[in-house]
Amino acid sequence: MSFLLSLSRLIDLLNEKVGNAVSWALLLSVFICTGNALVRYTFNTSSNAWLEIQWYLFSAIFLLATSYTLRRNEHVRIDVIAGRFSKRTQVIIDVLGFLVFLLPMALIILYYSVPYALLSIQNQEMSSNAGGLIVWPAKLLIPVGFFLLTLQGISEFIKRIGYLKGVVDASAFEKHSTTPEEEIEAIKAANKIN
């Protein structure tokens, strides 16, 4: 079990790094979106390439941050019923959800998206829009995102099993509410490490 928990910590670290990196894509997309709007309304012109860059960044944010969201236990869930159960029962529901829903769905999408992305790379697929960009980087985000989601699903499964065996505390996978001040301190600490 200790090997699996070490593997889980490595997966968590990977998805934390990816999630933090993707947060910069959000900032970049805001600047690009603002710039596009200013140019369009000021000079009455637009660029398909800049619009497609926004699309790529939104795709990256959504696909690459999904595993980070799962890692932080901030995904959408309905706790109206499950919230009434004991912690152990909630963890069993999570385990079943990972095994029956999350992992099969992520693996199926991963299975079909790899050839889809590889074909796009092989053909050096370009946008059909005038002045558009290459398309394969956006298509490559699909298998990469679902690979990361699969890894995080495995990590969360390991942590839940560890909890059921009594070797992992629930704080390892519970949602942590933080104040803005705590988040600022965490960012400062992360920047000192990097």
CA dihedral 20, 10, 182, 23 (to 10 degrees): 10
Q: For residues 141 and 51, what is the distance between their CA atoms, to the nearest angstrom?
A: 18
Output the pLDDT for position 99: 95
Tens digits of residue pLDDT in 8-44: 999 999 999 999 999 899 899 999 989 988 988 889 8
Which pair of tokens denotes residue 79? 């706790």
How confident is the model at residue 128, as a pLDDT?
Answer: 82
Q: What is the pLDDT of residues 164-185, one digit of tens each?
A: 998 888 777 887 655 556 666 6
Cα of first residue to Cα of last residue in the chain, in angstroms, is 30
| Pick from 5, 13, 125: nearest CA to 67 | 13
Residue 45 is predicted with a pLDDT of 83
The number of domains in the chain is 1
Q: Check pLDDT > 70 for residue 186.
A: no
Residue ranges making up the domain that contains 79: 2-193
Q: What is the pLDDT of residue 169?
A: 81
Higher pLDDT pick, 72 / 186: 72
- Give me 89's structure tokens: 């029962």
Instruction: Show contacts of 97-100: CB within 8 Å, 24+ apart.
Output: 98/153, 98/156, 98/157, 98/160, 99/157
* Backbone torsions φ then ψ of 173, nearest 5 degrees: -135, 0
User: Whole-angstrom Cα distance, residue 138 to residue 95?
Assistant: 32
Q: What pLDDT, in 10s, does the model give residues 87-130?
A: 898 889 899 999 999 999 999 999 999 999 999 999 988 888 78
Question: What's the pLDDT at 191?
Answer: 66
- Output the CA torsion sign for 110, 112, 116, 121: positive
Give residue 69's pLDDT band: very low, low, confident or very high (50, 70, 90): very high
pLDDT at 189 over 80: no
What's the pLDDT at 139?
93
